Structure 1
Amino acid sequence: MKSVFALFIALAAFQPSFATTSEDVKQKTSEAAASAVNYTKAQQEAFQKEMEAKLAEMKKEIAELKKSAAAKTGEAKNEMNQQINSLEKKQDGMTKDLAQLKKSSGKAWGHMKDGMSKAWDSITDSYSKAKAEYAEQK
Protein backbone atom coordinates (compact mmCIF):
# COMPACT_ATOMS: atom_id res chain seq x y z
CA MET A 1 0.00 0.00 0.00
CA LYS A 2 2.86 2.33 0.84
CA SER A 3 4.40 1.67 -2.59
CA VAL A 4 1.13 2.50 -4.36
CA PHE A 5 0.86 5.70 -2.35
CA ALA A 6 4.48 6.58 -3.22
CA LEU A 7 3.71 5.95 -6.89
CA PHE A 8 0.74 8.35 -6.79
CA ILE A 9 2.88 11.02 -5.14
CA ALA A 10 5.60 10.53 -7.77
CA LEU A 11 3.09 10.75 -10.62
CA ALA A 12 1.51 13.85 -9.11
CA ALA A 13 4.93 15.48 -8.95
CA PHE A 14 5.59 14.79 -12.65
CA GLN A 15 2.12 15.59 -13.92
CA PRO A 16 2.66 19.35 -14.40
CA SER A 17 5.50 18.66 -16.82
CA PHE A 18 3.12 16.65 -19.01
CA ALA A 19 0.25 19.09 -18.81
CA THR A 20 -0.49 21.24 -21.86
CA THR A 21 -2.25 24.52 -21.39
CA SER A 22 -4.15 26.44 -24.02
CA GLU A 23 -1.32 28.98 -24.00
CA ASP A 24 1.18 26.20 -24.81
CA VAL A 25 -0.97 25.07 -27.71
CA LYS A 26 -1.32 28.65 -28.99
CA GLN A 27 2.42 29.21 -28.77
CA LYS A 28 3.29 25.96 -30.53
CA THR A 29 0.70 26.64 -33.23
CA SER A 30 2.07 30.14 -33.71
CA GLU A 31 5.63 28.78 -33.95
CA ALA A 32 4.55 26.17 -36.51
CA ALA A 33 2.76 28.79 -38.59
CA ALA A 34 5.79 31.07 -38.49
CA SER A 35 8.01 28.19 -39.59
CA ALA A 36 5.69 27.44 -42.50
CA VAL A 37 5.67 31.09 -43.57
CA ASN A 38 9.46 31.27 -43.38
CA TYR A 39 9.78 28.06 -45.42
CA THR A 40 7.39 29.40 -48.06
CA LYS A 41 9.28 32.70 -48.24
CA ALA A 42 12.55 30.84 -48.67
CA GLN A 43 11.04 28.76 -51.48
CA GLN A 44 9.65 31.88 -53.13
CA GLU A 45 12.99 33.69 -52.96
CA ALA A 46 14.85 30.68 -54.35
CA PHE A 47 12.38 30.38 -57.25
CA GLN A 48 12.64 34.11 -57.97
CA LYS A 49 16.43 33.98 -58.06
CA GLU A 50 16.33 30.92 -60.31
CA MET A 51 13.93 32.65 -62.73
CA GLU A 52 16.02 35.84 -62.73
CA ALA A 53 19.12 33.81 -63.62
CA LYS A 54 17.26 31.93 -66.37
CA LEU A 55 15.91 35.16 -67.84
CA ALA A 56 19.37 36.73 -67.80
CA GLU A 57 20.78 33.69 -69.61
CA MET A 58 17.93 33.77 -72.13
CA LYS A 59 18.68 37.45 -72.78
CA LYS A 60 22.27 36.51 -73.68
CA GLU A 61 21.07 33.72 -75.95
CA ILE A 62 18.65 36.04 -77.72
CA ALA A 63 21.51 38.51 -78.24
CA GLU A 64 23.47 35.70 -79.92
CA LEU A 65 20.51 34.94 -82.18
CA LYS A 66 20.35 38.63 -83.10
CA LYS A 67 24.00 38.55 -84.14
CA SER A 68 23.33 35.49 -86.25
CA ALA A 69 20.25 37.07 -87.82
CA ALA A 70 22.22 40.19 -88.69
CA ALA A 71 24.45 38.06 -90.89
CA LYS A 72 21.45 36.68 -92.78
CA THR A 73 19.75 38.20 -95.79
CA GLY A 74 16.32 38.09 -97.36
CA GLU A 75 13.59 35.79 -96.10
CA ALA A 76 15.91 33.93 -93.71
CA LYS A 77 16.72 37.20 -91.96
CA ASN A 78 13.04 38.17 -91.76
CA GLU A 79 12.08 34.81 -90.27
CA MET A 80 14.87 34.96 -87.70
CA ASN A 81 13.89 38.50 -86.71
CA GLN A 82 10.26 37.44 -86.30
CA GLN A 83 11.30 34.58 -84.03
CA ILE A 84 13.57 36.90 -82.06
CA ASN A 85 10.73 39.41 -81.65
CA SER A 86 8.47 36.64 -80.42
CA LEU A 87 11.10 35.47 -77.93
CA GLU A 88 11.63 39.01 -76.67
CA LYS A 89 7.89 39.49 -76.15
CA LYS A 90 7.70 36.26 -74.17
CA GLN A 91 10.73 37.28 -72.15
CA ASP A 92 9.21 40.70 -71.42
CA GLY A 93 6.01 38.98 -70.30
CA MET A 94 7.97 36.72 -67.98
CA THR A 95 9.84 39.70 -66.56
CA LYS A 96 6.50 41.36 -65.75
CA ASP A 97 5.20 38.11 -64.26
CA LEU A 98 8.31 37.87 -62.12
CA ALA A 99 7.66 41.36 -60.77
CA GLN A 100 4.11 40.29 -59.86
CA LEU A 101 5.41 37.06 -58.36
CA LYS A 102 7.60 39.06 -56.00
CA LYS A 103 4.49 40.84 -54.70
CA SER A 104 2.31 37.73 -54.37
CA SER A 105 1.82 35.48 -51.38
CA GLY A 106 -0.08 32.38 -50.33
CA LYS A 107 -2.22 30.70 -52.97
CA ALA A 108 -1.53 33.50 -55.43
CA TRP A 109 2.18 32.71 -55.22
CA GLY A 110 1.52 29.05 -56.00
CA HIS A 111 -0.58 29.96 -59.04
CA MET A 112 2.02 32.49 -60.23
CA LYS A 113 4.80 29.95 -59.83
CA ASP A 114 2.91 27.37 -61.88
CA GLY A 115 2.17 29.95 -64.57
CA MET A 116 5.78 31.10 -64.73
CA SER A 117 7.03 27.52 -64.96
CA LYS A 118 4.72 26.90 -67.92
CA ALA A 119 5.75 30.19 -69.54
CA TRP A 120 9.41 29.26 -69.09
CA ASP A 121 8.78 25.90 -70.78
CA SER A 122 7.15 27.77 -73.67
CA ILE A 123 9.98 30.26 -74.11
CA THR A 124 12.69 27.59 -73.96
CA ASP A 125 10.77 25.54 -76.52
CA SER A 126 10.51 28.58 -78.80
CA TYR A 127 14.19 29.32 -78.37
CA SER A 128 15.15 25.72 -79.17
CA LYS A 129 13.05 25.82 -82.33
CA ALA A 130 14.56 29.14 -83.42
CA LYS A 131 18.07 27.89 -82.77
CA ALA A 132 17.37 24.65 -84.65
CA GLU A 133 16.02 26.56 -87.66
CA TYR A 134 19.09 28.77 -87.66
CA ALA A 135 21.33 25.70 -87.57
CA GLU A 136 19.45 24.22 -90.57
CA GLN A 137 19.83 27.45 -92.54
CA LYS A 138 23.61 27.67 -92.04
Structure 2
Amino acid sequence: MKFLVISLLALSFSSVSLATTKEDVQQKTTEAASAAADYTKEQKEQFQKDMENKLADLKKEISEMKAKASEKSGEAKKEMKAQIAVLEKKQDEMKKDLSKLKKSSGKAWSEMKSGMSKAWDSLSESYEKAKAEFKESK
Protein backbone atom coordinates (compact mmCIF):
# COMPACT_ATOMS: atom_id res chain seq x y z
CA MET A 1 0.00 0.00 0.00
CA LYS A 2 2.82 2.40 0.89
CA PHE A 3 4.47 1.61 -2.48
CA LEU A 4 1.19 2.35 -4.29
CA VAL A 5 0.84 5.75 -2.60
CA ILE A 6 4.44 6.67 -3.41
CA SER A 7 3.94 5.57 -7.01
CA LEU A 8 0.77 7.64 -7.34
CA LEU A 9 2.49 10.70 -5.87
CA ALA A 10 5.41 10.27 -8.24
CA LEU A 11 3.02 9.96 -11.17
CA SER A 12 1.11 13.06 -10.19
CA PHE A 13 4.31 15.09 -9.88
CA SER A 14 5.65 13.81 -13.20
CA SER A 15 2.43 14.64 -15.01
CA VAL A 16 2.63 18.20 -13.70
CA SER A 17 6.20 18.53 -14.94
CA LEU A 18 5.28 17.07 -18.32
CA ALA A 19 2.41 19.48 -18.82
CA THR A 20 3.45 21.93 -21.52
CA THR A 21 1.51 25.02 -22.30
CA LYS A 22 1.68 27.29 -25.29
CA GLU A 23 3.38 29.88 -23.10
CA ASP A 24 6.03 27.34 -22.00
CA VAL A 25 6.84 26.50 -25.59
CA GLN A 26 6.99 30.18 -26.56
CA GLN A 27 9.25 30.98 -23.61
CA LYS A 28 11.60 28.09 -24.38
CA THR A 29 11.68 29.05 -28.06
CA THR A 30 12.46 32.65 -27.17
CA GLU A 31 15.22 31.54 -24.79
CA ALA A 32 16.72 29.25 -27.44
CA ALA A 33 16.63 32.00 -30.07
CA SER A 34 18.23 34.44 -27.66
CA ALA A 35 20.96 31.94 -26.78
CA ALA A 36 21.64 31.32 -30.48
CA ALA A 37 21.84 35.06 -31.16
CA ASP A 38 24.23 35.55 -28.25
CA TYR A 39 26.42 32.70 -29.50
CA THR A 40 26.49 34.12 -33.02
CA LYS A 41 27.37 37.56 -31.65
CA GLU A 42 30.22 36.06 -29.64
CA GLN A 43 31.50 34.21 -32.71
CA LYS A 44 31.36 37.40 -34.78
CA GLU A 45 33.20 39.41 -32.14
CA GLN A 46 35.88 36.74 -31.80
CA PHE A 47 36.33 36.55 -35.58
CA GLN A 48 36.64 40.35 -35.77
CA LYS A 49 39.21 40.35 -32.99
CA ASP A 50 41.20 37.58 -34.68
CA MET A 51 41.19 39.46 -38.00
CA GLU A 52 42.23 42.70 -36.33
CA ASN A 53 45.13 40.90 -34.64
CA LYS A 54 46.20 39.23 -37.88
CA LEU A 55 46.12 42.55 -39.73
CA ALA A 56 48.13 44.23 -36.98
CA ASP A 57 50.75 41.46 -37.14
CA LEU A 58 50.90 41.72 -40.91
CA LYS A 59 51.34 45.48 -40.70
CA LYS A 60 54.43 44.95 -38.53
CA GLU A 61 55.81 42.35 -40.93
CA ILE A 62 55.25 44.63 -43.91
CA SER A 63 57.11 47.39 -42.04
CA GLU A 64 60.02 44.99 -41.58
CA MET A 65 59.93 44.21 -45.30
CA LYS A 66 60.03 47.92 -46.08
CA ALA A 67 63.10 48.30 -43.91
CA LYS A 68 64.81 45.42 -45.72
CA ALA A 69 63.77 46.83 -49.09
CA SER A 70 65.34 50.16 -48.25
CA GLU A 71 68.67 48.39 -47.83
CA LYS A 72 68.48 46.99 -51.37
CA SER A 73 69.32 48.72 -54.57
CA GLY A 74 68.48 48.55 -58.22
CA GLU A 75 66.03 46.01 -59.57
CA ALA A 76 65.77 44.08 -56.30
CA LYS A 77 64.62 47.19 -54.47
CA LYS A 78 62.13 48.01 -57.21
CA GLU A 79 60.64 44.51 -57.14
CA MET A 80 60.41 44.46 -53.36
CA LYS A 81 58.64 47.83 -53.31
CA ALA A 82 56.18 46.61 -55.95
CA GLN A 83 55.35 43.50 -53.91
CA ILE A 84 54.99 45.55 -50.74
CA ALA A 85 52.59 47.87 -52.57
CA VAL A 86 50.46 44.86 -53.58
CA LEU A 87 50.44 43.58 -50.00
CA GLU A 88 49.47 46.98 -48.64
CA LYS A 89 46.63 47.26 -51.15
CA LYS A 90 45.28 43.86 -50.16
CA GLN A 91 45.67 44.78 -46.51
CA ASP A 92 43.67 47.99 -47.05
CA GLU A 93 40.93 46.00 -48.76
CA MET A 94 40.83 43.65 -45.78
CA LYS A 95 40.47 46.63 -43.43
CA LYS A 96 37.51 47.89 -45.46
CA ASP A 97 35.95 44.42 -45.41
CA LEU A 98 36.46 44.25 -41.65
CA SER A 99 34.69 47.57 -41.28
CA LYS A 100 31.75 46.20 -43.30
CA LEU A 101 31.81 43.02 -41.25
CA LYS A 102 31.39 44.99 -38.04
CA LYS A 103 28.16 46.45 -39.42
CA SER A 104 26.79 43.17 -40.76
CA SER A 105 24.40 40.76 -39.07
CA GLY A 106 22.62 37.48 -39.67
CA LYS A 107 23.15 35.88 -43.05
CA ALA A 108 25.28 38.81 -44.23
CA TRP A 109 27.69 38.17 -41.34
CA SER A 110 28.07 34.55 -42.38
CA GLU A 111 28.77 35.50 -45.99
CA MET A 112 31.19 38.25 -44.93
CA LYS A 113 33.04 35.81 -42.71
CA SER A 114 33.47 33.38 -45.59
CA GLY A 115 34.66 36.12 -47.94
CA MET A 116 37.06 37.56 -45.40
CA SER A 117 38.53 34.15 -44.66
CA LYS A 118 39.22 33.65 -48.36
CA ALA A 119 40.67 37.15 -48.68
CA TRP A 120 42.90 36.53 -45.67
CA ASP A 121 44.14 33.28 -47.21
CA SER A 122 45.01 35.15 -50.42
CA LEU A 123 46.74 37.95 -48.53
CA SER A 124 48.66 35.50 -46.37
CA GLU A 125 49.74 33.54 -49.44
CA SER A 126 50.93 36.75 -51.14
CA TYR A 127 52.88 37.69 -48.04
CA GLU A 128 54.56 34.29 -47.82
CA LYS A 129 55.48 34.47 -51.51
CA ALA A 130 56.97 37.94 -51.11
CA LYS A 131 58.82 36.89 -47.99
CA ALA A 132 60.33 33.90 -49.81
CA GLU A 133 61.41 36.09 -52.73
CA PHE A 134 63.03 38.58 -50.35
CA LYS A 135 65.06 35.79 -48.82
CA GLU A 136 66.21 34.67 -52.27
CA SER A 137 67.34 38.17 -53.21
CA LYS A 138 69.71 38.52 -50.23
Q: Give the structure-2-normalised TM-score.
A: 0.90
The answer for the alignment partner of 1:69 in structure 2 is: 69
SS of 2:20's equivalent? Answer: coil
Report percent identity of matched pairs: 62
Q: State the distance in 2 between where 1:118 and 1:13 align.
A: 55
Provide the C-alpha distance between the structure 2 equivalents of 1:89 and 1:13, rounded to a whole number of angstroms. 67
Residue identity opposite 1:64 in structure 2: E
SS in structure 1 of the partner of residue 83 of structure 2? helix
Alpha-carbon offset, residue 17 of structure 1: 2.6
SS at 1:20 equivalent: coil
Q: Which residue of 1 aligns with 2:29?
A: 29
Summarize deviations over 1:54-87 as a string: whole Å, max 9, x none.
Answer: 0000000000000011111111111101100000
Distance in 1 between residues matched to 2:90 and 2:125, nearest whole Å: 11
Aligned amino acid, residue 35 of structure 1? A
For the structure 1 residues 80 and 14, does the alpha-carbon distance in structure 2 shift closer, same or farther, using more than 3 Å as the test?
closer
How many matched pairs?
136
Q: How many angstroms does 1:18 deviate by?
A: 1.6
Consecutive unaligned residues in structure 2, runs of 5 or more: none
Task: Kindly state the Cα deviation for residue 16 of structure 1 after the two structures are TM-superposed.
Answer: 2.8
Q: TM-score normalized by structure 1?
A: 0.90
Deviation at 1:14, TM superposition (A): 4.8
Output the aligned Cα RMSD: 2.0
